[in-house]
């Protein structure tokens, strides 16, 4: 099992990088702090089990809030993989409850039928 011990230093370096690039918004900062507190309450390490537990949907959580947490943790995991080489399993995106699969049905109105007349040349079947 992959594990990172210095999670506080990694998350702080990541938030500093995002701040310098101007990509650290309010929600990202809140979720990263929440994930850091969660990891520190479990011994200050980060592993696949903690990622899966933290990114699991809460009972009262809305779809888009859960999706935002998954996106932020996926970005952190990718950053850790590029910086340290330690790979973790990425949490999957939650399925959209409002999505209804609509099969593709081609519309016949898009096709225009054009009548083309060509001269027909018939060869005689029995030569005379």
Q: Per residue in 86-107, pLDDT tens?
A: 999 999 888 888 888 888 776 6
Share of the chain above pLDDT 90, in %: 60
Across the range 51-69, mean pLDDT stands at: 92
pTM of this structure: 0.73
| Beta-carbon contacts of residue 7 (< 8 Å; ≥ 6 apart) | 36, 39, 40, 44, 45, 46
Closest CA to 37 of 46, 28, 24: 46
Partners of 46 in beta bridges = 4
Long-range own/partner contacts, residues 117-126 (CB < 8 A, 24 or more apart) = none
Residue 23 has pLDDT above 80, yes or no: yes
- In this prediction, residue 101 carries a pLDDT of 81
125 in Cβ contact with 86 (< 8 Å): no
Residue 63 token pair: 């779809």
């Amino acid at each position: 099992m992959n594990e990172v011990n210095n999670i506080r230093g990694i998350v702080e370096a990541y938030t500093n990088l995002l701040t310098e690039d101007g990509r650290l918004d309010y929600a990202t900062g809140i979720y990263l702090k929440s994930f850091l507190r969660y990891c520190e309450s479990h011994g200050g390490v980060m592993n696949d089990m903690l990622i899966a537990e933290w990114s699991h949907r809460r009972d009262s959580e809305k779809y888009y809030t859960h999706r935002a947490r998954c996106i932020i943790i996926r970005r952190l995991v990718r950053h850790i993989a590029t910086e340290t080489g330690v790979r973790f399993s990425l949490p999957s995106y939650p399925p959209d409850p409002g999505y209804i699969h609509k099969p593709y049905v081609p519309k016949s109105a898009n096709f225009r039928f054009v009548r083309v007349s060509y001269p027909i040349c018939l060869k005689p079947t029995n030569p005379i």
